Copies of this chain bind each other. A is one copy, B any other.
Amino acid sequence: MASYTDRLHEQIRARQTSALVGLDPRWNLLPDEIRAAAEAAGGTTSEIHARAFQSFCCELIDIVAPVVSCVKPQVAFFEQLGPAGILAVQHVIRYARRQGLIVIADAKRGDIGSTAEAYADAWLAGEDPDRAPFAADALTVNAYLGTDTLAPFVQAACERKAGLYILVRTSNPGAAAFQDRVTDSQKLFEGVADVVEALNTENWPDADYGSVGAVVGATWPEELQQLRQRMPHTPLLVPGYGSQGGTAADVAGAFDGSGLGGVINSSRGINFAHRKEPFATEFGEARWRDAVVAATQQMIEDLRSHTPAIS
* Residues of A in contact with B (beta carbons under 8 Å apart): 26, 46, 74, 76-77, 79-83, 85-87, 90, 108-116, 118-119, 121-122, 133-134, 142-149, 167, 170-179, 181-183, 188, 191-192, 195
Contacts and interface: CB of A to CB of B under 8 A. Distances in A.
B82 A122 contact: yes
A272 to B, nearest CB: 12
A85 B254 CA distance: 38
Number of copies: 2
A98 to B, nearest CB: 17
A133 B79 CA distance: 9
A188 B181 contact: yes
A46 B86 CA distance: 15
Contacts of A119: 76, 79-80
A228 B267 CA distance: 42
A111 B188 CA distance: 18
A115 B77 contact: yes
B148 A178 contact: no
A123 to B, nearest CB: 8
Contact of A177 (B46, B110, B146, B173): B146
B178 A188 contact: yes
A178 B183 CA distance: 10
7 contacts: A74-B115, A76-B115, A79-B122, A81-B133, A82-B134, A108-B110, A144-B170
A188 to B, nearest CB: 6
B149 A26 contact: no
Contact of A86 (B26, B86, B115, B188): B86
B26 A76 contact: no
B145 A167 contact: yes
A76 B111 contact: yes
Given A76-B116, A85-B133, A178-B188, 11 more contacts: A74-B118, A76-B118, A79-B122, A80-B121, A81-B133, A82-B90, A82-B122, A112-B170, A145-B170, A178-B192, A181-B181
Contact of A183 (B173, B174, B175, B182): B182
A26 B121 CA distance: 13
A133 B177 contact: no
